[in-house]
Amino acid sequence: MAFTVGYFVGSLSSTSINRTLAKALIRLAPADLDFVEIPIKDLPLYSPDFDADYPPEGQALKRAIAQVDAILFVTPEYNRSIPGALKNAIDWASRPWGQNSFDHIPAAVIGATPGAIGTALAQQALRAVLSYCNARQMTAPEGYISLKPGLITEDGAVTNESTEKFLSDFMVEFRDHIERVLTVLPRRS
Ligand code: FNR
């Protein structure tokens, strides 16, 4: 069965290494996964004042999530947590109350930093948020990527064999996770 994965890149940077990582993951993913980016950069800051009448950007976000089978988060770590832009997008998608777009959705988390800890703390923070949002997270493998210059080319080719295998295995596991979750719990449309 083929699945469509919506992916969030948690960085707004024009030179984002997490966007590069996302490209690599897409290249290495099983052929029966299709990908669509869910953009976050044009969202205003969320306020409950919008709940009665979501602006077009908020409606587009929720529509985009409704149209995919699963969500992949590829995020940097900012100050040992997730970037505000990504948290803002999650807040938008989780509301209005009773219309949480992440309810039961299969999800995976991965991230890259030039540093040594590979976004581990950001991912733990994101997992807590997604847990509250009732997403069905893949718990293993975890993907803490220390991305040194040259490890992934700009168009997403991985230059190191063991990293390439790790990322490829990660996506195979995610595909299987999506299938398992949706077999037990098909998404409501
Ligand atoms: C960082 N960076 C960073 N790195 C890390 O490993 N742990 C951290 O807590 C932080 N904190 C942090 C805060 C802020 C505001 C910035 C701008 C950066 C460095 C970060 O990993 C690096 O800039 C990455 O390149 C960010 O990912 P993108 O934007 O290139 O995808």
For ligand 1, say whether the CB of 16 is within 6 Å of any of its atoms: yes
The pTM score is 0.97
H/E stretch holding 110 reads strand 106-113
For ligand 1, say whether the CB of 78 is within 6 Å of any of its atoms: yes
In testing the pocket of ligand 1, which one of 40, 73, 79, 117 has its CB within 8 Å of the most ligand atoms? 79
CA distance 169 to 166: 5
Q: What is the pLDDT of residues 48-76, one digit of tens each?
A: 999 999 999 999 999 999 999 999 999 99
Centroid of ligand 1 to alpha carbon of 120 (angstroms): 12
Centroid of ligand 1 to alpha carbon of 113 (angstroms): 6
For ligand 1, say whether the CB of 48 is within 6 Å of any of its atoms: no
CA distance 117 to 81: 12
Q: What is the pLDDT of residues 103-131, one digit of tens each?
A: 999 999 999 999 999 999 999 999 999 99
- Provide the token pair at 3: 């699945």
**Model confidence at 187: pLDDT above 80:** no
**Model confidence at 189: pLDDT above 70:** no
For ligand 1, say whether the CB of 80 is within 6 Å of any of its atoms: yes
For ligand 1, say whether the CB of 13 is within 6 Å of any of its atoms: yes
For ligand 1, say whether the CB of 147 is within 6 Å of any of its atoms: no
> What pairing do the DSSP bridges indicate for beta strands 70-74 and 3-9?
parallel
CA distance 130 to 119: 16
Q: Tell me if 170 sits within 8 A of 141, measured CB to CB.
A: yes
pLDDT computed for residue 1 by the predictor: 84
- Provide the token pair at 69: 């089978």
Q: Whose CA is nearest to atom 26 of ligand 1?
A: 76
**Model confidence at 188: pLDDT above 90:** no
For ligand 1, say whether the CB of 20 is within 6 Å of any of its atoms: no
For ligand 1, say whether the CB of 75 is within 6 Å of any of its atoms: no
Cα diameter, the chain: 51
CA distance 30 to 186: 21
pLDDT computed for residue 97 by the predictor: 95
What 3-state class would DSSP assign to 144? strand
Q: Whose CA is nearest to atom 16 of ligand 1?
A: 78
12, burial (CB in 10 Å: exposed 0-12, middle 13-18, buried 19+): middle
